[in-house]
Amino acid sequence: MNARFGCVVEECTAASDESRMSFPDVVGALMSAGVERYHADLVRSEKTYFLPDGESRVIPSDAVGRVPARAFSASSVEAAVQAIQTGAISYKAFCERVLDAGCVGYHVHIAGRRVVYYGRSGDSHTEYFPGAR
């Protein structure tokens, strides 16, 4: 396993959980380590990071301590994204809000510059990185 990859994904996970690093900073660090995409499972409290060659690493993250709502609300997910982008809420508060909106996880596609949030039944909402459109 690529040692730099392992160190970067561990630090990005911890820094996100501790609100020491913003999403754009996390994406920048992951890009520099060659990460192509990652998946955040909010129910299992873990993130899986992928390199283009298929190598991956699963990193435990802080548990949010909430059960996701049954119904998925794309507008509530979008509102949580806007709140964290403006610095109005922490990453933990963001995770709480998206779980309350029925989101169980999200996929960050670094090359595609988008995040796909999804619910229990496969409902989803796509947010593009700022300036990506």
* Backbone dihedral angles phi then psi of residue 78, each to the nearest 5 degrees: -60, -40
Return the SS3 of 34: coil
pTM: 0.93
pLDDT (0 to 100) of residue 2: 76
Residue 67 has pLDDT above 90, yes or no: yes
Judged by DSSP in three states, 31 sits in helix
**Extents of the domains making up the chain:** 3-128
- Where does residue 51 rank: exposed (0-12), middle (13-18), buried (19+ CB within 10 A)? middle
pLDDT tens-place string over residues 100-122: 999 999 999 999 999 999 999 99
Residues 3-128: name the CATH superfamily: YdfO-like (3.30.1810.10)
User: What is the number of other CB atoms lying within 10 angstroms of the CB of residue 122?
Assistant: 7
Task: Please write the tens of the pLDDT for every residue from 22-47.
Answer: 999 999 999 999 999 999 999 999 99
